Amino acid sequence: MCEIEYTEEIVKVRRTVRISKKVVGEPMEICLCSRCASQFYNSRQHFIKRADYYQINKEPCTYCNSRNGFDFLIFDLAQAAS
């Protein structure tokens, strides 16, 4: 992904994330299998989104290196003080 696409993705994610949370920094693009991705889906500190919904070829997972998965964008979220 180029710099312009990253900027567009950040704007889209900021619109979809609840107002009580704030996207912090740049997204991290990593390859995750479904089991490792579920850890980020269940986390309140991260927002996860597929980088390319049309990706066909799976690659080795960055975390476990035992299963194959897809590329994901992972955004860090900061909790707003209440």
Q: Mean pLDDT for each 10-residue chunk of the chain (82 residues)?
A: 57 56 80 92 86 93 94 82 47
Q: In the numeric block, which tokens belong to residue 29? A: 């693009």
Give the tokens for residue 64: 């476990």
Residue with tokens 């209440």: 82
**pLDDT at residue 25, as a whole number:** 77
pTM (2 d.p.) = 0.69
Structure tokens at 39: 């850890």
End-to-end CA distance of the chain: 36
Q: The tokens 């991260």 sit on which residue?
A: 46
